[in-house]
Every structure is written in structure tokens, then in C-alpha cells.
Amino acid sequence: MSTPEFDLVALKKVGMIQQKQSEYFALRLHAIGGDFTAEQLHRVAEVAAKYGRGELHLSTRQGIEIHFVHYSRLEEARQELEAAGIAMGACGPRIRIVVACPGAATCRWGIIDTKEVAKELDAKYFRQDTPHKFKMGVTGCPHNCAKATENDLGVMGGILPAWQSESCIHCDLCVNSCPTGAIYKENNEYRLDESKCIYCSICTSNCPVDSWVAAKKGYLLWIGGTMGKIPRLGTKLGNLIETKERLYELIERVIAYYRKNGRKRERFGHMIDRIGEQQVKEELLNE
Amino acid sequence: MSDAVKKRLDLHGVVCPLNFVKTKLALEELNVGERLEVILDEGDAMLNVPRSLKEEGHKIIKVTPNGEVYQLIVEKGV
């Protein structure tokens, strides 16, 4: 069986990945936070039936892959998808599709609008080249359902709580439901040990009389998370970031730093470990 | 309104959301302002039930840890 020469690198860049059955390709589709319309899903199904074997694969990054598309029909399939507003995904050493939980749009715990952040990151960075693959995840709160800490760059919503004595009925629910034991009672007052606080909003959500309020609300930035052969959880970069401008400024700096310092095929987190976590944090924050 | 507990409910070992449903049903038998004592497991139960009670308009008055469970005093809301 002879197959023509493919520019596999160029194909990978647009999410077309040669299968081990070398005549066939997997088409990886673009997605933002795993959101599709019903109409788009219909079209994806039609393309899978027409150009593949009617099989779809849901990826670990909330994307869709259409498998078993013959090389002779790649362009046709792609054009049909793009006509339905579905772009191709990405593979290789570059910025991949952004994952996100549904966030504040529908979740009770959601602190930030994850869809808005995911769209912004996608618009700015999707498919851009980096030393190795670079994955971004946006999660609405520290419950971390979208696993921000397992991505090269993770954005997480968070609040810093503050206690207001006037309305408090001293029920002790906050002390007993704080997941990290950051809240304690001293001299008949509730106190917060901010070094233990994970900004999760359980105290402010639970408090029966709203004595715990969100003094600050914003974003936490995690860098260098990865799974794969050498797993590493993300490192928190600084504390709660209160404005979008500061968030995007830091993200811009993080990606530029990786491009400048990352070796070929070196994941961002492993680069951080090579240089030293403390040094990387300082260089990113104090500029 | 009385501080006395009108009813007691031991929900140790009862999973979410059944623990909340049972708490809600027990509160339905009380008058507004009357109190219910509930025993809840640590973990998910303590994460979910207090907030659901708040959303339903009831008020937690006191939480006391006791080993792997918590004793909650809940006041029925309107």
C-alpha cells in the first residue's frame, strides 16, 4: 500500500493527525470550554458519517475528534466543518484549545465568567507556537473542576473573605466548614489565616447571616501544571488578582517567559523546576 | 420563638442529597421559629446541607463538632 508524502507537521498544526493506519487521519476540532451548539453537533455528526466511519471521539480537553477520515478527503471534510462555523483544532508544539468549566454562567459555586476568559485566551493565543505543547484551563472556583492546576496555565476564580462582627450570631459554621481550617475563633472573634485560605467562598456561601462577605474577588493564576510522563501540579503565581487587566498582563508575561526560556520539547512546568520556582515567580511578578 | 429543640434527626451515614431532603421534611413538621437538631457527617454533607438550608430560608443557629459528625441546630424559616 503506497500513500503520498504528507506534510505531517503542517497537518498537525491544524489538528489533522495521521493515524497508525497511515492512509487515515483523525480530525481534531476546535472548541472553547467544550461548548457547542446543537446545530454544530449535528453538522459534526454528519461530517463524521460522510467522511469518516461515523465515529466520534470526545477528547480529554473537551474537544471532538473525527477518526478514520481518508487523506484524499481531508480538505473537503474541513471545508464542510468550517462552513458550519467549526474550526480545526491544534496539535504539536503550540497553544492548544482552552478547557473551562461552565463557571458563573450556570454553576452555584462559579465565581468568575469562565466562558469570557476562555474566549479571550483563545482569541489571543490559540495555535501560536511555543517550545512544547501549552495547555490552558479556566475554572470558576477553587473546587477546580476544570483542573486549572493540571494545565500549563490555569485561571481560577476566587474570593478573599472578611468577617463582619455586627450581624454574626456565632454559630461556628464557618469554623466547622472551612475546608482548610483557615478560620478560627479568638477572643470571641472569628479570624482568617490568609496563608491557609484557598479563596473558595464556602464560608461566604454558607454563613446563615452573611457575616462572612467577599472583601476581594478575582482570579488566581497557576503556572506549570502538567500530566503526562512526568506529572506536576501548577504553582500559584502570586495571590488573588483583582482586575482583568492585571490577569491578562501576567498571562502575556508568562507565555513570553516560556518562549524565551523553554527548551525544545520541555514543558513549562519542567522549565520552572529547572530554573527554580522562586526565581521564576520573582521574575514574572517583579517586572 | 423558643430555644428548645422540637425534633431530633440523626443523619449519620445518610448521603447527599437524601440528608437534605430528610432535613427539609423534618422542618416541614415544625412551626416557623422552632428548632431542629440534625446530626450530619463531615465532608460532603457539611459542604452541601448548610447552604441548601440557607437557600430554603432556614437558619443555622449552632454547629458543634463531635468526632466524625456535627450537631447542627436549625431554626425553621418562613
pLDDT digits (tens, 9 = 90+) for A53-91: 999 999 999 999 999 999 999 999 999 999 999 999 999
Say whether residue B59 is in contact with chain A using an 8 A CB cutoff: yes
Parallel, antiparallel or unpaired: strands A56-58 and A16-18: unpaired
Q: Given A175, A202, A208, which is nearest B47 (Cβ)?
A: A202
Q: d(Cα A11, Cα A96) in Å, to the nearest integer?
A: 14
Quote the minimal CA–CA distance from A179 to chain B in Å.
9
Question: What's the mean per-residue pLDDT of chain A?
Answer: 96
Q: Tell me the chain A residues in contact with residue B63 when contact means C-beta distances shorter than 8 Å.
A: 171-173, 175-177
**Cell numbers 493540571 correspond to what residue?**
A150
Judged by CB atoms closer than 8 Å, whether chains meet at B62 and A208 is answered as: no
Is the domain covering A99-158+216-285 a CATH 3.20.10.10 domain?
Answer: no
B residues 1..30 contacting A (CB < 8 A):
none
Average pLDDT over residues A156-173: 97
Q: Is the pLDDT of residue B1 over 60?
A: no
Q: Work out how many CB contacts closer than 8 A connect A with B.
A: 36
pTM: 0.93
Grid cell locating A32: 472553547
**pLDDT tens per residue, range A10-63:** 899 999 999 999 999 999 999 999 999 999 999 999 999 999 999 999 999 999
pLDDT confidence tier of residue A3, bands split at 50, 70 and 90: low
Q: Is the pLDDT of residue A5 over 90?
A: no
- A172 touching chain B per CB within 8 A: yes
Q: pLDDT at position B3, please? A: 78
Q: Inter-chain contact B62–A176, Cβ cutoff 8 Å? A: no
Asked which of A2-11, A28-37, A145-154, A220-229 is least confident by mean pLDDT, the reply is: A2-11
The full set of domain ranges for chain A reads 8-83, 99-158+216-285
Which of B12, B16, B46, B48 is labelled catalytic? B16
- With residues binned 3-state (H G I as helix, E B as strand, rest as coil), the percentages for chain A, rounded to 5, are 35, 25, 45
Which tens digits make up the pLDDT trace of A166-212?
Answer: 999 999 999 999 999 999 999 999 999 999 999 999 999 999 999 99
> What pLDDT is attached to residue A175?
97
Q: For residues A233 and A202, give the distance between their C-alpha atoms in angstroms, rounded to a whole number.
A: 23
Per the CB < 8 A criterion, the answer to whether A150 and A156 are in contact is no
Q: What is the secondary structure of B10-70 as a DSSP string? A: E-TTPPTTHHHHHHHHHHHTSPTT-EEEEEEESTHHHHHHHHHHHHTT-EEEEEEEETTEE
pLDDT band at A6 (very low <50, low <70, confident <90, very high): confident
B2-58 residue pLDDT tens: 578 999 999 999 999 999 999 999 999 999 999 999 999 999 899 899 999 999 999
Q: Which domain holds residue B55?
A: 5-75
Q: Is A214 helix (H, G, I), strand (E, B) or coil?
A: strand
**Selection from A61, A63, A146, A153 nearest residue A109 by Cα:** A146
Mean pLDDT, residues A228-257 taken together: 97
Nearest to A113 by CA among A55, A51, A33: A33
CATH number of the domain residue B68 falls in: 3.30.110.40
For A8-83, give the CATH class: alpha beta
pLDDT at residue A2, rounded to an integer: 56
